[in-house]
Amino acid sequence: MIIDGKKVAIEIRNAIKARLDQTPNVNITLATVLVGDDPASKLYVGMKHREANAAGLRSKNIELPADTSQAQLEQQIETLAKDDSVHGILVQLPLPGELDKDRVLARIPPEKDVDGLTDVNMGRLVQGQKQLVPCTPLGVMRLIDAYKIETSGKTAVVVGRSALVGLPQFLLLAERGVDATVTIAHSRSPDLAATCKTADILVCAAGSPAMITAEHVKPGAMVFDVGVSRTDQGIQGDVDFASVSKVAGGITPMPGGTGPMTVACLLENTVLAARLQGALKV
C-alpha cells in the first residue's frame, strides 16, 4: 500500500478552505522569514505560500540577506510578534552562518509558533497539553489517522532524535489515546536493523539517504519516510523504497509522502493559532 501524502494533504487544505469560506470577514495571515538565498529554502517557502493561498489564508514573506545580524533578525521577529494582523510566524531553517536559531525562536510568541518549536510548545507536548505541534510529526499522525493504521498495543520505532521530528514523534505516538510502545533509535544504536525490525510502525527521520533497507523492516510494517537528503541523484529519503516496498505493508513515497503533509499541518497550525488568539471563533 502506498501511503499517499499528497492526497491527504489536499483533503486537509480543502477542509480548511471550506471552513474559512464560512467566515469571509476573517483574514488569517501566515508570515515566513527567510534569511539568505539558499535555493532549496526558497523553494520550500514558495510552496508554503502557494498552499496557504490555496487554502484561503493570507501570506507574508520576509526575505533578509545572508549577512543579517542576530539583532536584526530578532528585531524582525519581534515586529511580527507585535503585529495583530499576523497569526502565524515561521522562520525557515536552517539559518545561515552563525545565527542562533534558539534565540530567534524564543522571540516567537507561543500562540504564533506554527512550527511548534518554542520551548513553551515543546514543553506542553511533553506534559500532554499539546496545542501547536511540530508539523512533520503531526503530519505522520494525520496519515496514520487517514489510513486507519492501528496504534494501540503496537510497537513503533522512530529512527532519529531531533527536536524537530524524532522527539515529538516519540511523544505523539506514545500519548494516551494513541498508546503505541515507542523506541527511539539512531545511527549509534547497536544493531539498528534488529531494533527497527521489531516495529509495526517505523518512522525514519535520520537524514541519512537510503539507510533503511528491507533487512530493517518487519514484514507488513507501516513505514513513514521523513528524512530528506540532497544527493547527486536528487532528493533522497532515509528509506530504500525499491527494497522496502517489497516487505512493508504500507510505505510513504519520497517525494509525495510526508512532505506535503508537513505543509498541510502548517496550514492547520496557522488556523489553530488564529483561534488561540481569538481571531477565529469556529
Nearest to 4 by CA among 264, 263, 266, 256: 256
**Which of 217, 275, 272, 210 has the alpha carbon at shortest distance from 246?**
217
Question: Is 236 among the residues known to form the active site?
Answer: no
State how beta strands 155-159 and 181-185 pair. parallel
Q: Out of 113, 115, 200, 225, pick the active-site residue.
A: 115
Q: What is the dihedral of CA 152, 156, 162, 165, to 10 degrees?
A: -50
Active site residue 115: yes
Which among 197, 178, 195, 174 is positioned nearest to 186, based on CA atoms?
Answer: 195
Nearest-angstrom CA–CA distance, 257 and 241:
12
State how far Cα 276 lies from the chain centre.
Answer: 20
The one catalytic residue among 92, 112, 113, 169: 92
Q: Looking up cell 492547520, which residue turns up? A: 268
Alpha carbon distance 244, 251 (integer Å): 8
State yes or no: is 60 an active-site residue. Answer: no
Active-site annotation, residues:
48, 92, 115
